[in-house]
Amino acid sequence: MTTAFLFPGQASQLVGMGKDLSEAYPVARQLYEEADDTIGFSLSTICFDGPMEELSKTSVTQPAVFLHSVVCARLLSEQGVEPSVVAGHSLGEYSALVAAGVLDFGAALQLVHRRGELMQAAGSQRPGAMAAILGVDDEQIVGLCEADEGVVVAANFNAPGQIVISGEADAVARVGVAANEAGAKRVVDLLVSGAFHSALMVPAADELATQLQQASFSAPRASVVTNVSATAETDPQRLQQLLIEQMTAPVRWTDSVKAVVGTGVTGAYEVGPGAVLKGLVRRIDRALEVRSMGTAQELAELGPEVTGA
C-alpha cells in the first residue's frame, strides 16, 4: 500500500500534546529529552503542561509542533509504516523533510527553533496581520490583494473557498471588507505574531537563508511535495532552495494535495497534533482518506492490515 504522510503547521498546538506518547513509548521520551538538550530549554514541559500563552508563542509553537510530528513519524516507522510521499503545511515541511531523510532531526530542530524566533522578531519589527476568507474564489481574492495599495498577499491557498491573506494590518482589513462585499461567507482575523508568507517576512527569510544554505540536505527516501512548487521534488539542492523561498511565498496547499493524489497514494496519515489537514483534504479531494495519527491511542489502533504485522 502506498501512503502519504501529511504534517501540520502552526496553530495545531494544544497543551498536553505529546505527553501520552512520551509516557507510552521510550523512543518518544528520548526524542523529547534530546530536543530539550538541543534548544536549551524544557520544550517538553511547555508541551505537556503549558501554559497555552507560552506554547502559542511562535518561537515555541514551531519547535513544539515539529517535535510532536517527528515523534509520531518515528513511531509509525517503528510499526512498519513508511511513506512514499510526504508534504507539510508551512512549518510542517520541515517535519516532512525529516521523515523523508532529507534533514537530520537535530539540525532540523535547530532550524525550526531559529525560524520561529526570526518570524516572531519580524512580526515585532514590522507588525502585520493575517485573515482567513471563506466562500470566495481564490482568483478573486488574489485580484483584491493586487488592487490594494498596501502590502497584502494571498498567503495560504488552504482549500477551495478557503484562503488566508497576509500583510500590513490596514491592508488586510481593507481586503477583508472588499471580500465581504464580494460575497464572502466569513472573514476571520487570525491570532498570529506576524504577517507570515508575505514581504514583511523578508528580514527573517534573509537570515534563515544563511543557516539553510549551511545545512546538509540529503536525497529523500520519499517524494517531497513542497509548498512553493506544489509538485513532487527529489533533488536535495532544489528542496533547500524551495525551503528558503517558502518564508515569503504562498503555501499552495490545495495544489499540493492534488499533487500528492497524483502520485498514486491510496491513503494518508496526518502525522502530528490535531486534524486540521484532514478537514482541508476532505474539501480538496475526498478520494484521499486521511487518518489522524497524533496520540498514543491512535497509534495503538493501527491494525495488522496497516502495519504489515
Beta bridge mates, 146: none
**Alpha-carbon distance 99 to 195, whole Å?**
28
Of 162, 163, 161, nearest in space to 152 by CA? 163
Query: 3-class DSSP state for residue 224?
Result: strand
Provide the 8-state DSSP code for 218: P
Q: Please count the other Cβ atoms lying within 10 Å of the Cβ belonging to residue 213.
A: 11
Residues with Cβ < 8 Å from 40, sequence gap 6 or more? none
Strand, coil or helix: 167: strand
The answer to whether residue 113 is catalytic is no
Tell me, yes or no, if 124 is annotated catalytic. Answer: no
- CA-based nearest residue to 77, from 109, 99, 103: 99
Answer whether 271's CB lies under 8 Å from 5's CB. yes
Residue of 68, 89, 197, 256 with catalytic role: 197
Burial class (CB in 10 A: 0-12, 13-18, 19+), 178: buried
What cell was used for 296?
Answer: 498514543
**Which residue among the candidates 22, 90, 95, 292 is catalytic per the annotation?**
90
Mention every residue, 6+ apart, whose C-beta is less than 8 A from residue 146.
Answer: none
**Chain-centre distance for alpha carbon 267:** 19
Catalytically annotated residues: 90, 197
